[in-house]
Chains A and B, each alone.
Chain A
């Protein structure tokens, strides 16, 4: 397993290098610099600023020195927030986003698996149609709509939950987690339904039934493990997507997470910040894809052994 993981991580190096290079070129060719503002910036001020951030050097020189910094683990200073380093900014948002992502994932898995499994137990009955229709809506309900709806209902009208914040008022993590998790819950519901339907038609389920096991054991012990493999394969990319896509939810709920940095950096042309967050998310995508592959392998005893040697 270790070697498998190492191999995949080695593959990640060229991927990251290409990502950095392409992003570097992209951001530097995008119109509008980091310092352009509504009020005209005098030429001498602009020069001073560019000199401070080495933007007056030829592009390739900037690229080389940036690469050098990245290798040393230094993502450089933020242009938009003078005095803050990109590392520091990413770190400041990371914990929050990770926590938000984790809760959202828990919501997604919890709701999704229950809905999917329920639906799969009696396919083509109301017990199937109702959760699956809900899943359909969930998949297509954009969070910019779901968020405000939840806030209005639970925050403003019922006054059960805070309308914004993160770790500031008790209960303020609930609505963001649900808003972010719902779309994924819907996907997971569909995936787990499909997976479970497939597994439930397997011979070994019949065997379990013939052994006199209860339905609960049959579903819970024999079917779930295989039925949720598609879900597990989905979790990695989903988690990475969740972290990267939390921008809307972070904005709606005023959450100090990474997603906002990611998007704002692009709008601000905060070159180092764009690169930093991109590299960070790229790494995240790679790592989570790897983790979910490893989890899928670990769940499958046959694959587990094959990989053990490798």
Chain B
């Protein structure tokens, strides 16, 4: 048993990922998406230095002014600069979106893969557990989390991960169930590979397509879920903000101050499209078969 060297091989070989990157570089839409995401992340990272105003700087006399030379994206009801708010909000939203989704992804993929691969009674029990978690009242769960553990951002990731992984697990399980009957899995089995290695090396990489697509859909919905949790008091607190919260506030005043909705909406949509393009590109890039047709 020498699984360490298996890993070193994976690192060293021009494996799936390296090839994927080569292929991804040829996909213009995906590159655009990636570029946009990197741009958004960079802006978020640099926000403390490049933001035109402080995110908490109020000017109550300048409340809710439309876009102008001073405030490119206008101001909110407290007279805070919207561009600044969106930049700061992006920090929270992107972080929540990526980390919480990563949590959901990790749990969901492993759980689903194990359930689907082992099958039988174990699968039945594991999936019933998913049913149970689906059915529990989310709101009470959140309220309780908040009270027991207090408020913190880590908890937010946990809470979001806790819901989002369920669906991921179901998708992966479905995939794995059809994969495990494939001959190459049987071949791996006949090589004497351990179950865990089979799952990790032979099963999971082959579920990547649907997983990536679902992930790109999950990230924006996680960002919106964060806003809801922040409403309940679990997430971030004013004067901090996030795109989800900005959109929520924006909806309230969409007739009076449309720019308060439109600009955060654009920020979220841009991310969404960038992710979608990148996701589709990645899915194709990670599927060696797509290169030839």
Contact = CB atoms under 8 A, between A and B. Distances in A.
A contacting B, Cβ–Cβ less than 8 Å = yes
A27 B147 CA distance: 12
Contacts, number: 80
B128 A30 contact: no
A174 to B, nearest CB: 21
Contacts of A277: 137
Interface string A118-151: 0000000000000000001101101011001100
A149 B248 CA distance: 13
Nearest to B209: A194
Contacts of B139: 263, 266-267
A285 interface: yes
B230 to A, nearest CB: 14
Nearest to B225: A142
Given A29-B144, A144-B251, A145-B247, A23 B137 contact: yes
Q: Which one of A136, A285, A286 has the highest number of Cβ atoms from chain B below 10 Å of its Cβ? A: A136
A30 B147 contact: yes
Contacts of B144: 26, 29-30
Interface in B188-202: none
Interface residues of A, number: 34
A61 B109 CA distance: 40
Contacts of A139: 217, 221
Interface in B8-42: none
A200 to B, nearest CB: 15
Interface of A: 11, 14-15, 18-19, 22-23, 26-27, 29-31, 136-137, 139-140, 142, 144-145, 148-149, 152, 262-263, 266-267, 274, 277-278, 281-282, 285-286, 289
20 contacts: A14-B128, A23-B136, A23-B137, A26-B136, A26-B141, A27-B140, A29-B144, A137-B272, A140-B269, A142-B224, A148-B251, A263-B139, A266-B137, A266-B139, A274-B137, A274-B140, A278-B136, A281-B135, A282-B131, A282-B134
